[in-house]
Amino acid sequence: MGYLGKENTLIKRDGEGKLLPIETTLELLLEKPVVKLTPLTKGELNQLLTIPDSEDKIIREHIKDPEYTEEEFGFIKPQIYGAIKMALLSLSTDASQEEMQESTVKAILEDAKKKPTNLNEN
């Protein structure tokens, strides 16, 4: 059994205590492009998962390369947005991007089952 040292357990920070960006492959896209993301803190992760209105702001703040203005981020392609979101969640939780996508889809489907449909209304 190996020793669990701080170098393997702490998120890397600069001299001012700011989180350092990490190169991350967007595994869910065919081209597998690389971006730089800063991991979410526990508080930001909780906020992302519980306060839907904060999602865009949090995700945009953690993309370090390429960086987007607020206006540009509003026009980001949905598949790119989803891939960045899954990569950020993966990076911040140590789960694979595929696992994050599967659990997200499962949660959406479970939520949809709970909501009544109005298909018969005209």
In order along its 122 residues, the chain shows pLDDT tens digits of 677 787 777 788 889 988 899 999 999 999 999 999 999 988 988 888 888 788 888 899 999 999 999 899 999 999 999 999 999 999 988 888 888 888 878 877 887 788 766 655 55
| Cα separation of the two ends of the chain | 65
Question: Could you say which DSSP state residue 19 is in?
Answer: B
- Rg over alpha carbons for the chain, rounded to the nearest Å, is 17
- Count Cβ atoms within 10 A of the Cβ of residue 58 and give its class: 0-12 exposed, 13-18 middle, 19 or more buried: middle
The span from the CA of 18 to the CA of 8, in Å, is: 18
